[in-house]
Structure 1
Amino acid sequence: MTTPMIETDQRPAIDVRPLAYALHHMIPDLHAMALPGEDWDDMRARRDAALDILDDLLAEATAGAVA
C-alpha cells in the first residue's frame, strides 16, 4: 500500500536554499574520495578545508537570504 500524494501550498519548514547554494559551489570537488597522489594527511587537510568553505558559503547564502 502506498501513501497518497497530497498537494499543498505550504512551504517547507526548512529553507534549503543556503545548502543548495553551497553545494552548487562545491561540487564536484566535494565528492572526491581521494585525489591522485594524495596521502591520508593531505586528504584530511582537504576535507577540513572543504568544511571551512562549506561553513563560509552557508553563512554567505544565509546573509544573502536575510538581506
Structure 2
Amino acid sequence: MFKRLREDIATIRERDPAARSAWEVLTCYPGLHALVLHRFAHACWLAKRRWLARYVSQLARFLTGIEIHPGA
C-alpha cells in the first residue's frame, strides 16, 4: 500500500511542475486523495461489501469533488 502511494506521489511530482514536495502532494492534492479512497472503495466492492464501498465513494466525492464509482 505505501509503495503504491509513494509511486503515485512520485508520478504527480514528475508530471506537475507546480508540485514542490511530496508533503505538498500528499496533503493538498485532491486527485491523490480521491485515488487512494477509490482503491479502498474498490477493494470493498470486490469483497462484496457494496454498501461500505458506496459510502466510501460518497465520502470521497464530498471531500474531493471527484466521483469514481467503486466498481470501476
TM-score with structure 1 length normalisation?
0.38
Higher helix share: 2
Q: Which structure has the larger Rg? A: 1
